[in-house]
Amino acid sequence: MSASAQRWLPLAPAAVVSIYFFGGFALFAVRSAIWGVRHDRELEGRAPSLLIGSFLRDYFGWIIRPLWRLVLASGLSPNGVTVLAMALGGGAGLAVALGRFALGGWLFVLSGILDTLDGRLARARHQVTPAGAAFDSLLDRYADGAMLIGLAYYFRGSWVLIAALAAIFGTSMVPYVRAKAESMGVQMKEGLMQRPERILTLGLAVILSPWVEALWPAPSGPGQRLAAVSLVFLAATSNATAVGRITRLLTALRRPAAPAPAPSSAVGPPRTATAPRRLVRT
């Protein structure tokens, strides 16, 4: 087998999936221009995002409709989908640790896709419970952590390890600050690098990184330069998001509370001897 074939053949399975998603985006754009955007009200109603606008959300809802129908007909429980999403996240971390970046990237993205479907499945079956929401949120941390730990292991011999460790710290602080804020009565849904943004930016960078290396091989070092750049970006933006949330939380907690309204009285204000009652006609 030639050296060129050895570089490109492992990317063939990922190329098929890439054609589906990137080709689907072009098809969705043409369809939207002709017949209008097919809206996904559930995704559009989620927390606002600077990186993922309503058009991307509508595209995402449209492109995963076949997978949604499969999940709905599979008989899996919402918690079962959550566990499957975590398992795929663990597989993504193992794949990138072994240098299989295209496979790891798509497993990570698929894990994120399933994470959006477990809640939708629970609502469709009227099985929404606080325990299920907590279970979903906790297992998300394992899926994200597995991917970042796998990247940290792969880059363990280079400076990129520092970025990977900083990204682990930042991505754990973002949901923690939100949970802490909401436990104290402060809503905290804004931020540049929330979980959908992390999955999109890191997943796409890891998917495309082997293609960059195949086209422009690195002269030295561990390679996978696009993945390394994404880790630096993720480390910076996730920690900036966490710091921004901490600042907003402390500002909200330091703000003086609004005075409680005076209790109403059914008999009206008290009368005094110096203020005789007067009748006023209107």
| Contacts for 125-133: CB closer than 8 Å, 24+ residues apart | 125/78, 127/77, 127/78, 132/78, 132/79, 132/82
Rg of the chain in Å (alpha carbons): 25
Cα–Cα nearest to 141, from 201, 205, 202, 90:
90
Structure tokens at 99: 């240098």
SS3 content of the chain, % helix, strand, coil (to 5): 70, 0, 30
Q: Decide if 115 is catalytic.
A: no
**Using CA atoms, how far apart are residues 66 and 263, in angstroms rounded to an integer?**
57
Structure tokens at 49: 């995002």
Residue 203 Cα to chain centre, angstroms: 11
* Residue pair 198/144 in contact by the 8 Å Cβ criterion: yes
Active-site residue (options: 40, 58, 136, 140):
140
Task: Give the active site residues.
Answer: 140
